[in-house]
């Protein structure tokens, strides 16, 4: 799965497909272990809505759809939609969903600032916010598409402390390396903030709140990820 949403910056041909396939293989085990067992349950009043049914969920920057499919399987009575700017990855995600016989899932080509629809109960960004060309605009679009006063924005980001010196450990060094060659150049190409994979909670919170969200908190974490919850 493309966990880096490259928007209009990098086309599929700009990196070998092994990059995206390798990223999926690397991150998917964490998603299987955590998305529906601890990350979504850590959000305020979200899991009950999804299990009860009738909820609308979007996975922005879904890539090959690994995270989207996991949610669709866990919450069969809710509607799950995956959006990604890159058509080839959406086509692959559709084939996988069809192969698994999932009826409550759709995949569409769209970016973080123009995906359609509104009244969403949950908007999820898995490991892609820091790569986006315009994360501030993405945040404003999320605000416009969430269910009024009751919707939740979940951001899953690589684990990072706010100070560089606190990230000089094996996990931080790995993330800095990947960020240098993929994440930061993608954002800089659009003259944007280049948050990078070690942005940290303080910087993420600043952008989210500037988009209009009044509530922001760290819902949970693992040694590899920070899970944030934003509400109106």
Sequential DSSP letters for 25-77: HHHHHHHHHHIIIIIGGGSTTHHHHHHHS--EEEEET-TTSHHHHHHHHH-TT
Please give the distance of CA 116 from its chain centroid, rounded to a whole number.
Answer: 16
What's residue 125's pLDDT?
A: 98
Query: What is the per-residue pLDDT across 33-54, written as a single tens digit (0 to 9) for each?
Result: 999 999 999 999 999 999 999 9
pTM over 0.85: yes
The whole-angstrom separation of Cα 93 and Cα 78 is: 18
- The answer, yes or no, to whether residue 95 has pLDDT greater than 50, is yes
Please give the distance of CA 39 from its chain centroid, rounded to a whole number.
Answer: 12
- Indicate the pLDDT class of residue 18, thresholds 50, 70 and 90: low
The whole-angstrom separation of Cα 74 and Cα 66 is: 13
- The answer, yes or no, to whether residue 8 has pLDDT greater than 50, is no
What's residue 14's pLDDT?
A: 65
**Beta-bridge partner residues of 79:** 56
Q: Which residue has the higher pLDDT, 185 or 211?
A: 211
Query: What is the per-residue pLDDT across 129-161, written as a single tens digit (0 to 9) for each?
Result: 998 989 999 999 999 999 988 999 999 999 999
Q: Report the chain's C-alpha Rg in angstroms.
A: 16
Do the Cβ atoms of 154 and 122 come closer than 8 Å?
yes
List CB contacts of 202: < 8 A, sequence separation 6 or more: 162
Averaged pLDDT for residues 180-206: 86
What's residue 185's pLDDT?
A: 80
Averaged pLDDT for residues 2-14: 39
What's residue 9's pLDDT?
A: 38
Query: What is the per-residue pLDDT across 108-134, written as a single tens digit (0 to 9) for each?
Result: 999 999 999 999 999 999 999 998 989
Domains of the chain: 12-231 (3.40.50.150)
């Amino acid at each position: 799965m493309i966990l880096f949403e490259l928007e209009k910056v990098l086309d599929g041909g700009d990196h070998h497909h092994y990059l995206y396939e390798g990223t999926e293989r690397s991150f998917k085990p964490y998603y299987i272990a955590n998305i529906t067992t601890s990350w979504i349950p850590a959000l305020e009043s979200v899991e009950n809505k999804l299990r009860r049914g009738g909820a609308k969920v979007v996975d922005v920057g879904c890539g090959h759809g690994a995270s989207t499919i996991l949610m669709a399987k866990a919450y069969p009575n809710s509607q799950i939609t995956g959006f990604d700017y890159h058509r080839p990855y959406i086509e692959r995600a559709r084939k996988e969903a069809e192969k698994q016989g999932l009826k409550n899932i759709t995949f569409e080509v769209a970016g973080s600032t123009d995906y359609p629809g509104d009244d969403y109960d949950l908007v999820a960004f898995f490991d892609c916010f820091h790569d986006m060309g315009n994360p501030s605009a993405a945040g404003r679009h999320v605000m416009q598409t969430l269910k009024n006063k009751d919707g939740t924005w979940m951001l899953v980001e690589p684990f990072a402390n706010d100070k560089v010196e606190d990230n000089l450990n094996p996990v931080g060094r790995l993330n800095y390396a990947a960020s240098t060659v993929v994440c930061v150049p993608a954002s800089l190409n659009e003259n944007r903030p280049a948050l990078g994979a070690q942005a940290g909670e303080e910087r993420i919170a600043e952008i989210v709140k500037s988009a209009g969200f009044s509530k922001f908190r760290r819902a949970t974490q693992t040694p590899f990820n920070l899970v944030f919850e934003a509400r109106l």
